[in-house]
Amino acid sequence: MKETLVLYPFPGMGHLVSMVELGKLFLTHGFAVAVITVSATYTTGAASSTETFITRMSSAHPFLSFHRLPSVSLPPNASPHHEAHAFDLLRLSNPHLLSLLSSLSQSSPVRALIVDFFCTIALDVAAELAIPSYIFFTSSAAILAAFLHLPALHSKVTTSFKDLGDSPLHFPGLPPIPARDMLLPMLDRDDEAYKGFIAIFNRMPDADGIIAIAGGLAVPGKKAPPVHCVGPLTAIQPKLRHDCLDWLDKQPKQSVVFLCFGSLGAFSAKQLHEIAIGLEKSQQKFLWVVRSPPNPVPSLAPGGGESAKLTEAPPEPELEALLPEGFLDRTGERGMVVKSWAPQAEVLRHGAVGGFVTHCGWNSVLEAIVGGVAMVAWPLYAEQRMNKVMLVEMGLAVEMRGYESGAVEAREVAERVKGVVEGEWGREVRGRMELLRLAAEAALADGGSSSVAVNDLVSIWKAGRR
Ligand code: UDP
């Protein structure tokens, strides 16, 4: 009988996809992999993509199964940040997780519970069932180092990061990070989301290990758990070929800039307008994923609600109404607008793409590296501002000025888009990216660092160790 590894991702395509990629690494080592998701997803515009992804993955891999926990009623929570509501959702889902894990372990021994770092509260469940627990960290090594250090910083600083402006925060081994660029839901220390994150970072060292793309971490005042460095994990999603790939086939090498902002990124109608004018001015070839502007989601209001209602997929965007009059006709020769969702990982690997305007979600960054594409950083939510600081520091991205105020002007879009595809800077970055791409390939090859880390974990679990 196969032993089972249980994965517990945070809701949202970015987290789900990379966790499933992790699981696939272990399928080839004789484990069955069960993925347990809470009852809601936050994947705007992509709820159906999530379902399609799950259906296809489970039919492609007989030993990969998906299980959804029952929905729970969320208590009132005044935080404007969806993470605070997610923390409630995860806490209240623990009893359901406990009973599902208990029933799964009756049919096959559960060798480890691997939880997304957001779901660290599930370590309580693993402890109760005496199952080894691991945290899967879906962002960069630098961010992991900063997060593990944050409880120590929290106890020293008494002011909210939002009130510290540009003051540099110091984390061991990292360049200084301006306080205003900290994780968005952590800017206000009185917010429930801030408290939730500090609780997570405090708890992370209690896991039996962290699976990440990182090494050599220090946790002030605590023993750091072993860090198993896998990846980079990027996924080509098994889908029908998208029209935009046919369009890219017809474009010259590295001539197209791709604009796409993660599974949640959406702009106001005014900002969409401004981007459109900028793209038109730039005279560059572009492929742009456009979403409907965000609507306030009723169930995220302070009153709380059923967790299942957290999924409010916005309607498909009405391009003619959202974009400047005649834009689609005028740019039709050299640009393509895709509604809501494009097969990003494939797009970024396509030779016609030379630049990427990105929200700096970590999967997107890894996919850009694997594709050897230069980036323009337009961080929107979560830890993306911190990622931007690192990417700019490493010379892999330039910043889209004006992102902080949420009002990027058309001429800035035009300048950046032109620079990333045509400019000297763009060419240099693609050169640096090529070296990183080769390093990524080497890590994933037989005997590379990722394969070694996977083999180590497999031997630990097969020997029944932690
Ligand atoms: N993605 C995609 N098409 C889209 C938008 C997103 O395929 O139109 C994928 C993207 O390739 C990446 C994931 O969704 O794998 C987004 O993850 P990331 O960590 O970049 O951002 P998040 O969505 O977590 O903010």
pLDDT band at 217 (very low <50, low <70, confident <90, very high): low
From the alpha carbon of 289, which atom of ligand 1 is closest?
A: 8
For 29-52, what is each residue's pLDDT tens digit?
999 999 999 976 444 445 567 888
Amino acid (one-letter) located at 188: D
Please report which helix (H) or strand (E) contains residue 338, including its range: strand 335-339
**Separation of alpha carbons 68 and 390, rounded Å:** 36
- 440-455 pLDDT, tens digit per residue, is 889 889 999 999 999 9
State the residue for tokens 């696939």: 24
Which residues lie closer than 8 Å to 447 by C-beta, 6 or more apart?
Answer: none
Span 455-465, pLDDT tens digits: 999 999 999 88
Name the DSSP letter for residue 381. S
Using 50, 70 and 90 to split pLDDT, how confident is the model at 220? low
Q: Tell which atom from ligand 1 comes closest to the C-alpha of 237.
A: 7
Residues in the chain: 466
- Report the predicted TM-score, pTM, of the whole model to 2 decimal places: 0.87
Residue 225 DSSP symbol: P
Query: Rounded to the nearest 5°, which phi and psi values hold at 88?
Result: -60, -45
DSSP 253-286: TT-EEEEE-TTT----HHHHHHHHHHHHHHT-EE
Q: pLDDT tens for residues 253-303?
A: 999 999 999 988 899 999 999 999 999 999 999 999 999 998 654 333 333
Query: Would you call 163 a catalytic residue per the annotation?
Result: no
The alpha carbon of 223 and the centre of ligand 1 are apart by a number of angstroms equal to: 33
CA of 163 to the centre of ligand 1 (A): 31
- Which of 364, 370, 380 for mutating ligand 1's site (highest number of atoms within 8 Å of CB)? 364
**Torsion angle defined by CA atoms of residues 16, 459, 227 and 53, in that order, rounded to the nearest 10 degrees:** -10
Neighbours of 337 (CB within 10 A): 21
- Residue 263 CA, closest ligand 1 atom number: 23
- Residues with C-beta less than 6 Å from any ligand 1 atom: 12-14, 17, 260, 262-264, 289, 341-345, 361-364, 367
- Torsion sign across C-alpha atoms 295, 298, 304, 305: negative
Active site residue 29: no
Whether 178 shows a pLDDT value over 50: the answer reads: yes
Distance 290 CA to ligand 1 centre (A): 13
To the nearest 10 degrees (0 to 180), the angle between helices 449-462 and 424-444 is 30
CA 290 remoteness from chain centre: 19
DSSP state letter for 29: T
Q: Is 459 left (phi over 0), alpha (psi -120 to 50) or beta?
A: alpha
- Name which residue sits closest to atom 17 of ligand 1, judged by CA: 14
Q: Return the pLDDT at 238.
A: 58
What string of DSSP letters covers 389-447? HHHHHTTSEEE-TTTTTT---HHHHHHHHHHHHHSHHHHHHHHHHHHHHHHHHHHHSTT
Active-site residue, selected from the candidate residues 15, 228, 350, 359? 15
**72-76, 157-161, 349-353: least confidently modelled range:** 72-76
363: CA distance to ligand 1 center in Å? 6
